[in-house]
Structure 1
Amino acid sequence: MQTNTIQTTWRNDAPLTPESTYSTEQAAAILHIRPNTLRVALCRDGAYMGVHPIKRANRFLAWPANEIDALARGEVVK
């Protein structure tokens, strides 16, 4: 008997929201860190190096793109 398995992959090609935010995975890739680093810092300190994400209605986090980009450039975010 053959079993049919359906493989699904998570796709992150959705367009950015008008306020220009990154998902946790996108922000982590830009900062060259693991996504769990952002999540742990948020749970522990309430922010990651001064960046506070927005919690969406679907429980996902949206990280402000301008602040993540500033961190990637080495700037200090307040």
Structure 2
Amino acid sequence: MHMVHSPLRSPGLPEILPTDEAAALLNRKPQTLRKWACLENGPIRPIRINGRLAWRVKDLQALLVEGDRS
């Protein structure tokens, strides 16, 4: 099994990340995540805080783990 070190495994991480940081962790452009949110067709869904997108770290972790399996 191929293990990839992920910065998401670091202690003290927040529970949510803004779009720019989430996109960097997924190696995607922020606009890709915004499109997922707008069209509601991405592999994960954001939450909205005061009209701004935020991404749950646990959802990002799950997506990265699934990606390692494929």
With normalisation by structure 2, the TM-score equals: 0.66
Could you tell me how far apart the structure 1 residues matched to 2:66 and 2:26 are? 10
How many residues align? The count is 55
Deviation at 1:38, TM superposition (A): 0.7
| Residue 54 in structure 1 maps to residue 54 in structure 2 | no
Could you tell me how far apart the structure 2 residues matched to 1:54 and 1:47 are? 14
Could you tell me how far apart the structure 2 residues matched to 1:36 and 1:68 are? 16
Structure 2 unmatched ranges of 5 or more: 1-12
Query: Considering only aligned residues, what root-mean-square deviation do their CA atoms show, in Å?
Result: 1.8
Q: Is the 8 A contact 1:47 1:53 kept in 2?
A: no
**Hey, which bits of structure 1, 4+ residues long, moved more than 3 A?**
none
Q: Is the 8 A contact 2:17 2:56 kept in 1?
A: yes
2:57 maps to: 65
Pair member with larger Rg:
1
Candidates 23, 32, 36, aligned match of 1:28 = 23
Could you tell me how far apart the structure 2 residues matched to 1:68 and 1:47 are? 15
With normalisation by structure 1, the TM-score equals: 0.60
Q: 1:41 to 1:55 in 2, by over 3 A?
A: same
Could you tell me how far apart the structure 2 residues matched to 1:48 and 1:66 are? 16
